[in-house]
Structure 1
Amino acid sequence: MYLMAIVDLYSRKIMHWSISNSMDADWCTQVMNEAVEMHGCPCIINTDQGSQFTSEAFSGYVLGNGIKLSMDGKGRATDNAFIERFWRDIKYEKIYLNPPESGQALYQLVKEYVPYYNTERRHGGIEDQIPEELYWQAINKLKAA
C-alpha cells in the first residue's frame, strides 16, 4: 500500500492524502488534482524523483496549472524533510502501534491520525504550534494584507 500526502510547508498541515495499492503517475496526478480542487493551486510543489512524479502526466498537470515543480536530489530524503517527518510520525505514533491487517484498516488508521496531526499535535519545528491553527493564522494575515 502507498500513502501520498501533500503538506503545507509553512504550517505542516496535511492538505490532502490518499492511499492506493499502486503508486503510478495517474494516481499521483489524481491526488494532486483533488488537492488543487479543494485548496487551489500552490505556488510550488516539491517531490522526490520517482517515475510517477517525473512522468508527463504528473509534471504536465503541475506545470500546466502554473505550479512550479521542485524535485529532491536523487536519494536525498532530507531534501523534503517536512513530508519525511510526517512519514516518521505517522509510522511511530499510529501504524507501528496498531499494525493494520488490510488496506481498509490502514485507511482507517490514516483517517484517524491526520485530523489529530492537523488539529491537536504540536510541532517543535513550528514552535510547538498546531498546524491547523498556524495555517489559518497565515491565511487570515494574507487576506488582511
Structure 2
Amino acid sequence: MKVAIKWIKKGYKIATVLDFVGLSESTYYYNINHNSEDDNSSNNPNGRPIPGYSYSYAGEKISDEQIKEWLLELVAGDGFPYGYKKLTTCLKEDYMLKINHKKVYRLCKELDILRPQRKIKNRHPRRLAKRDEISNSNQLWEMDLKYGCITGIDQFFFQLSVIDVFDRSIIDYHLGLSCKAEDACRVLKKALAKRELTKGMDLPVIRTDNGSQFTSKLFGSTCQSLGMKYQRIPVKTPNMNAHIESFHSILEDECYSRNEFQSYIEVYEIVSEYMRYYNNRRRHGSLNNQAPTQYYRAVKDKKIKPEVFIA
C-alpha cells in the first residue's frame, strides 16, 4: 500500500500503479479515506460524510433534526402513515425541501417509523415439476419457446409449441414476430379443444420453464380457470422439459438450419409445412417407428399396448 501511494504521489496514473502492485481500487480508496487526517467531518465510515442538513428550494440550510420533526408531523398528521417514498414527496411539496428518498429512508430508520414491508402473496403459487409415470396421452404436456432468424430482414421470429410427452404430437403452436403470455394462453386453449378436453375432465398437467410468458399472472390464472395443474421446472434443469427440448433440436436440424428465410411469409409457409410433416409423417424410434398422430390414434383405438415410462 505504501509503495503504491509513493508512486501515485510521483504522478503515475492510479489505475496503472494499482494494477502493477496487484491492489484493487476499492482497497486503495478505502484505506485512503480511513487514514486521511484531513477528513474529520465524516460521521459515516462506510461512505461519504453525512452533512447533517439539506437545502430548501430557496437555498436555506435545513437541519436533519428539523426534517425529522417534519417527518413525525407528516406521519401523525392524517393517521394513515405513508412509506418513505411518499414522505419524500410530501417534504418536497409541503416544505419545499430538496431531498431524495434515500436520505428520507435513513432518517425514517433513525426515527424507527419505517413501515413494515408488505408481504406479496402469489395468487398462483409455483409448483415445481416432479418425475411422474406416464402411461397415456393427455397426461403430461410440455410447452416452450424457440426462436429463429429471418435473414432477409435481419429479424427474429418465435415459435411456441405444446407437446404431448406420451405420443410426441405437437398439439398446437404459435408462430409470430413476437410471443406474449396471451399467445401462450391461446395455444393452450386451442390444444385442449383439439384433444376435445374440457374443464371437469381428467386434464393433462402442463409443464414449462420459467420464461416470462409462463410466469405471468395471465398464464397462471388461465391454467386455473381451465382446471389444469401447472408445473414449472427448477432453474437450470432443462432435462425436466426434455421432450420439448428434443423437439426443438429436431426442428432446428431438419427445418430452421436448412432454410435461409427471406420474409415472415416464407417462415410461415415452410414451418407450417414442416409441422404437418412432423405430426403426420415423420417416424419416431420411440413410437415404434410411427408418426405421432398415427401412434396417438393407435393407442386411443387400443390397437397397440402403450409403453409406460417416467418423465
Q: Which has the higher helix share?
A: 1
Equivalent-residue separation in structure 2 for 1:101 and 1:78 (angstroms): 33
1:33 matched to 2:204 = no
In structure 2, the residue matched to 1:125 is 286
Contact 2:170–2:279 (Cα < 8 Å) also in 1: yes
Corresponding residue for residue 252 of structure 2: 91
* Greater C-alpha radius of gyration: 2
Deviation at 1:17, TM superposition (A): 1.0
Instruction: Give the TM-score normalised by the residue count of structure 1.
Output: 0.88
User: SS at 1:122's partner residue?
Assistant: coil
1:54 aligns with 2:215: yes
Structure 2, gaps ≥5 residues long:
1-156, 303-311
Matches within 5 A, 1:65-84: 65-84=226-245
- Number of residue pairs the alignment of both structures matches: 141
Hey, what does 2:264 align to over in structure 1?
A: 103
Which of structure 1's runs of 4+ aligned residues deviate more than 6 A? none
- Aligned partner of 1:5 in structure 2 is 161
SS of the counterpart of 1:104? helix
CA distance in 2, matches of 1:37, 1:66: 14
Q: Which residue of 2 is the match for residue 23 of structure 1?
A: 179
Please state how far the C-alpha of 1:115 moved relative to its aligned partner.
1.3
Distance in 1 (CA, whole Å) between partners of 2:170 and 2:248 is 11
Percent identity at matched positions? Answer: 30
Alpha-carbon distance in 1 for matches of 2:248, 2:271: 11
Amino acid at match of 2:251: I
Alignment correspondent of 1:44: 205
Measured after TM superposition, the shift of residue 133 of structure 1 is: 1.1
Quote how far apart the aligned CAs of 1:43 are: 1.8
Q: Deviations over 1:49-91 (max 9, x none)?
A: 1121011111111122111111122122221111111111111
Asked if 1:116 corresponds to 2:292, the answer is no
CA contact (8 A) 1:9 1:82 kept: yes
Instruction: Measure, in 1, the Cα distance between the counterparts of 2:260 and 2:235.
Output: 30
C-alpha offsets along residues 10-42 of structure 1, whole Å, 9 cap, x if unaligned? Answer: 110111111122221112112212222322254
**Letter in structure 2 aligned against 1:105:** E
TM-score, L = length of structure 2: 0.43
Which residue identity does 1:8 align to in structure 2?
D
Distance in 1 separating the partners of 2:270 and 2:235: 30
Letter of the aligned partner of 2:276 in structure 1? Answer: P
Contact 1:95 1:109 in 2 (8 A): no
**Alpha-carbon deviation of 1:110?**
1.5
Name the structure, 1 or 2, with higher relative contact order (CA <8 Å, separation 6+): 1
Q: Is the 8 A contact 1:15 1:35 kept in 2?
A: yes
Q: Which position in structure 1 is the counterpart of 2:13?
A: none
**Structure 1 counterpart of 2:58:** none
Contact 2:174 2:183 in 1 (8 A): no
| Alignment RMSD (CA, Å) | 1.5
